[in-house]
Amino acid sequence: MEIKVRTGQLHTEDRPLIVVSLFEGAAECSGATDMVDKALHGQIRRLMREGDITGQARETALIYTAESIPALRVLVVGLGKEESFGLEAIRIASATAAQRVRELKLRSFGSMIHGAGWNDLPLEDAAQAVVEGAELALYQFRELKSSAEDDPKPVVSLALVVPDAHQVAAAQEGAAIGQHIAAAANLARDLVNRPSNHATPAALARHAQAMAGEPGMTCTVLDEAEMAALGMGSLLGVAQGSDEPAKFIILEYNAGREHMDTLALVGKGITFDSGGISLKAAQKMQGCKGDMAGAAAVLEAMRVAARLQLPLHIVGLIPSTENMPSGKACKPGDVVRAMNGKTIEVVNTDAEGRLILADALAYALRYRPQAIIDLATLTNAIAVALGHQAAGLFSNDDDLAARLDAAGRTSHERVWRLPLFEEYRRQLKSDVADLKNCGSEPAGAITAAVFLQQFVDDLPWAHLDIAGRAFASTDEDEPFTPYSPSMATGFGVRLLVQFLRDWVNSPPHRHATKRW
Ligand code: BES
Ligand code: ZN
Ligand code: ZN
């Protein structure tokens, strides 16, 4: 969608529709909504008094203007209660409006920047949220549909109107950031929604290689022989049952630049998780094409980092393979050796994510990063614990955990921390190897994280289990935000970008280098 920021009065905007907004229970209209209401001779106020417009979140009222202003339609969208107002309410209002515009089959609309001028909310952030809400809400996965039937015409143009010329720069800046972020999140959704016969490990590698066109980005892809030479026996153990060759993707941004913090981002890239020899039941196999949502988030967040030219050295590591049963496949009880030399008894081949991440985390240590963050659709257990509202956060570093928590609140891709108590390690004791890949049933998400911890030494590390957040529930009782239509959510892109931007704005206090 083309997004323009303009100075002027919204009610003079010549578009098929303009969007204004108000708080729930507001006695009066204010700002741009007030100006539009006056131009409409008090029509919005009349409808408020009648109770047609209440300002509830997700409420819309369509008013036909009968030529009192250039726009034929005014859409009034609710912002919800002022007490709970913030960036998320802006995203939801903007998403609701954009979807209504699409339903009306309109190609273009104008809008105020919801929340502009409210308390000390920066205009830049409000503009970013408006753009994110609209762009994310209009996402559709249509690339494999051969007919244009039922294809709503895309909304192609949005004008954001600000009253003062001196506001344009901030609004433009925020809108541009919002566009980069939303476009990347939508590309991550494409990767996750794309079926496994299209999105193979090789296809994922090509996607990453194409990203090397972004400024500062380089990409290296290791094949199975190169992984074997590095001793990645844990990853190769998962890959050996599949006919699709595995790939280890290394996407690097600002490689070799001095005086920049190094952050390693690791994403689980299982392009299809059948469970392997520990085969999943048929119903549980649905959606397993999306077991690379962590990889998609890492790759696309890095695209945004490059577009925003963040002064960071970022290493994206994606171990990618299918998890398939075959005569060559890893069998329960087999023992593999990871790159750090640890031996692992594979008691369940469906706990494959942690096996491929083990080698990727061990590889990440080579860069001596200031922080390692991995994202993975790792366990069903995390969805049992947190449902679809938050990703599980596990970390050996309180500062890193706090940063991810803060970024989650700002982006509304929220995380919730769970413990890594030493005692959980007992559940992973093996009779034959250094550890086994899964333990007894309780605390399944935690024992998975404890397993990963065995591969990061003592470097600051955080693991995000996104299995409950990567896919939008289609359950009617559990509606998702309007800006996350069904299937892939693109979770992680907005969270990571916020985390990286915050890191740049306030890097952690640096401790004096230890001398030995
Ligand atoms: N990729 C799955 C977890 C998953 C399931 C993510 C459904 C998203 C939707 C993972 O590889 C897996 O199979 N985990 C097992 C682990 C168990 C065998 C210890 C699980 O959670 O059941
Ligand atoms: Zn699995
Ligand atoms: Zn999996």
List the one residue out of 354, 284, 350, 292 whose CA is nearest residue 318.
292
- Looking at residue 148, what is its pLDDT? 74
Homologous superfamily (CATH) of 2-138 is Leucine Aminopeptidase, subunit E, domain 1 (3.40.220.10)
- Looking at residue 515, what is its pLDDT? 40
Identify the band that residue 280 occupies on the pLDDT scale cut at 50, 70 and 90: very high
Rounded to whole angstroms, the Cα distance separating 371 from 406 reads 16
Homologous superfamily (CATH) of 184-505 is Zn peptidases (3.40.630.10)
Average pLDDT, integer, range 334-360: 99
Q: Which candidate in 206, 280, 417, 425 is catalytic?
A: 280
Q: Is 15 a catalytic residue?
A: no
Q: Are 133 and 48 in contact (CB under 8 A)?
A: no
- Looking at residue 474, what is its pLDDT? 64
| Amino acid letter, residue 435 | L
- Nearest ligand for residue 468 CA: 1
- Nearest ligand for residue 470 CA: 1
| Amino acid letter, residue 217 | M
The CB of 36 under 6 Å from ligand 1? The reply is: no
| Amino acid letter, residue 420 | L
The CB of 291 under 6 Å from ligand 1? The reply is: yes
Rounded to the nearest angstrom, the distance between the alpha carbon of 350 and the centre of ligand 2 is 4
The CB of 353 under 6 Å from ligand 1? The reply is: yes
Identify the band that residue 147 occupies on the pLDDT scale cut at 50, 70 and 90: confident
Q: Is 247 a catalytic residue?
A: no
C-alpha distances (whole Å) from 25 to each of 51, 55, 60, 197, 465 are 10, 6, 15, 51, 39
- Looking at residue 155, the DSSP 8-state letter turns out to be P
Q: What percent of the chain has pLDDT over 90?
A: 93
Rounded to whole angstroms, the Cα distance separating 475 from 486 reads 10
Q: Distance from first CA to last CA of the chain, Å, rounded?
A: 56
- Nearest ligand for residue 391 CA: 1
Average pLDDT, integer, range 472-491: 79
Beta strands in 391-484 (DSSP E): 391-395, 415-417, 435-436, 461-465, 471-472
The per-residue pLDDT for range 164-202, each reduced to its tens digit, is: 999 999 999 999 999 999 999 999 999 999 999 999 999
Rounded to the nearest angstrom, the distance between the alpha carbon of 200 and the centre of ligand 3 is 15
Rounded to the nearest angstrom, the distance between the alpha carbon of 421 and the centre of ligand 2 is 24
- Looking at residue 510, what is its pLDDT? 67
pTM for this model (two decimals): 0.97
Q: What percent of the chain has pLDDT over 70?
A: 97
Q: What ranges in 417-468 are assigned the alpha helix state H? A: 444-453
- Looking at residue 475, what is its pLDDT? 65
- Looking at residue 516, what is its pLDDT? 36
Q: Which atom of ligand 1 is nearest to the CA of 275?
A: 13
> Of the given ranges (298-312, 321-335, 469-483), which has the lowest mean pLDDT?
469-483
Q: Cβ neighbours of residue 349 under 8 Å, at least 6 residues apart?
A: 238, 241, 275, 276, 277, 278, 323, 325, 329, 330, 331, 332
The CB of 352 under 6 Å from ligand 1? The reply is: yes
Q: Is the pLDDT of residue 429 over 80?
A: yes
C-alpha distances (whole Å) from 282 to each of 198, 279, 287, 357 are 21, 9, 11, 25
- Looking at residue 480, what is its pLDDT? 66
Cα 272 to its chain centre, rounded Å, is: 20
Average pLDDT, integer, range 16-21: 98
Q: Are 211 and 307 in contact (CB under 8 A)?
A: no
Rounded to the nearest angstrom, the distance between the alpha carbon of 389 and the centre of ligand 3 is 20
Rounded to the nearest angstrom, the distance between the alpha carbon of 273 and the centre of ligand 2 is 5
Choose which residue among 291, 324, 346 to substitute to test ligand 1 binding: the one with the highest number of ligand atoms within 8 A of its C-beta.
291
Average pLDDT, integer, range 397-408: 98
The CB of 488 under 6 Å from ligand 1? The reply is: no
Rounded to whole angstroms, the Cα distance separating 297 from 411 reads 14
Question: Where do the CATH 3.40.630.10 domains begin and end in the chain?
Answer: 184-505
DSSP per residue, 378-398: --HHHHHHHTTS-EEEEES-H
The per-residue pLDDT for range 326-335, each reduced to its tens digit, is: 999 999 999 9
Q: What ranges in 20-122 are assigned the alpha helix state H? A: 31-39, 43-50, 87-103
Choose which residue among 379, 388, 451, 466 to substitute to test ligand 1 binding: the one with the highest number of ligand atoms within 8 A of its C-beta.
379
Q: Are 413 and 495 in contact (CB under 8 A)?
A: yes
The CB of 293 under 6 Å from ligand 1? The reply is: no
> Of the given ranges (80-84, 106-110, 165-169, 254-258), which has the lowest mean pLDDT?
254-258
Tell me what the pLDDT averaged over the chain comes to. 96
Q: Is the dihedral of CA 424, 425, 426, 430 positive or negative?
A: positive
Q: Which atom of ligand 1 is nearest to the CA of 291?
A: 1
Question: Where do the CATH 3.40.220.10 domains begin and end in the chain?
Answer: 2-138
Q: Cβ neighbours of residue 60 under 8 Å, at least 6 residues apart?
A: 75, 76, 77, 78, 96, 97, 100
Q: Is the pLDDT of residue 433 over 80?
A: yes
